[in-house]
Amino acid sequence: MRNFVVTIDGKSYSVGVEEVGESTGVQAPKAVPVASPAAKPAPKLSADGEKVLSPFPGLIKNLLVADGSTVKKDQPIMVLEAMKMDNEITAPCDGKVTFGVSKGANVETNATLAVIS
């Protein structure tokens, strides 16, 4: 028996697959829901400042500066992966960055990624 974790529509399932003889078919595995790791709650963002919005849905692959850092306009601040492509998200203005997401988070279009104040 070999065990696998399969994710379907955001839900993880632990499945066991048993190898059977060459002349017989494969027995369908029984899916058992597995608890997903708890996501870190998003930090509270200030309403003051310029919001950095997600241009499309994707995965936050990396934060390129530390939370609270001073950034310059057009400086890359994070990497957003969408459709297997890495996209740099840049600061829209000079200021101090406060992130509203963490590395590994999935985001939707127009989600607030950060605020520059």
CA 34-102-100 angle, 5° bins: 125
Give the pLDDT confidence of 78-104 residue by residue, as tens digits: 999 999 999 999 999 999 999 999 999
Q: In this model, does residue 38 exceed pLDDT 50?
A: no
Q: Which domains does the chain have, with CATH numbers?
A: 2-34 (no CATH), 50-116 (2.40.50.100)
CA angle at residue 88 from 84 to 94, to 5 degrees?
165
Q: Are 67 and 99 in contact (CB under 8 A)?
A: yes
Average pLDDT, the chain: 82
Instruction: Say how many C-beta atoms besides its own lie within 10 A of residue 71's C-beta.
Output: 20
**Under 8 Å between Cβ of 81 and 62:** no
Q: What is the pLDDT of residue 35?
A: 53
Are 61 and 81 within 8 A, CB to CB? yes
